[in-house]
Structure 1
Amino acid sequence: MSKELNKFELIFGKSFGPFKLGMILQEVINLLKKMYYKYGEVHLIYEEDDPIHRDLELYVENIGLKLLFCSKTQQLRIIKVVDFNKIKIVTKRYLNNRKVVLSSPDIKLTLDHVLNVIGPSYEGKFTRNKKFYLHHYPV
């Protein structure tokens, strides 16, 4: 197992490192087999009582990642980071398109940091007469 921190590039709505949304379960399993030296063992989690209607999950504990697949199509639909201390996430800054570290054990993921890197992800409201812009996040 590699002791170097795994680095993943995040492309919003498309991919996270080598994992692309829409990949078939078998493709991901083959990739993880090839990268065993880097990612370690994988746990397949599914609902025994209702395997057809619940997502299938691959849990890669050594990198703190959960990959959720549609049980019917077996396509990757959600990529979850469950332990930000095990990986380094890089992405492109929205203003200048340069790569920047979004998260690592040394850089904590905070709302201010995310806004600085990727910009707002919710629309705000502009009041013309007061020349005031309100940016509100749902709770």
Structure 2
Amino acid sequence: MRPSGSLRHFLGSFASIIAGSGPGQTTYPTVRICAATSDSLVVNEKGEGMTADALRFRFDRARKVAGVEKGIFQFRDLRAKAGTDKAESSGDIRAAQLQLGHTSVVMTEHYVRERKGDKVEPTK
């Protein structure tokens, strides 16, 4: 199934929604540097560590705002995309295997997906 226009819209505006902005925003938020109060990988606007539940909540809200059904694009798809991108950019599935932490290349082959459709450049 090819991604619908709403999925492309979702991917294009994902960062602004995850950043806590509301629907209907026409510009992307300004990136500001703040002193992190946590050593977490993912932090909120205040520099505090975000829990997995908080990140999933924002992801689900972004998907809903974009009108993308859960069956089409899920949070777990981001891991598969990272593995696919790594395998494509390096030309070696073993690099994706290492990044994903798999002990078996067979498991990595399960995650790495053949890209559907044409690769396109972002609109902005």
Band of TM-score, shorter chain: under 0.3
Higher relative contact order (CA 8 A, sep 6+): 2
Q: Which has the higher helix share?
A: 2
Give TM-score scaled by structure 1 length.
Answer: 0.23
Q: Which has the higher strand share?
A: 1
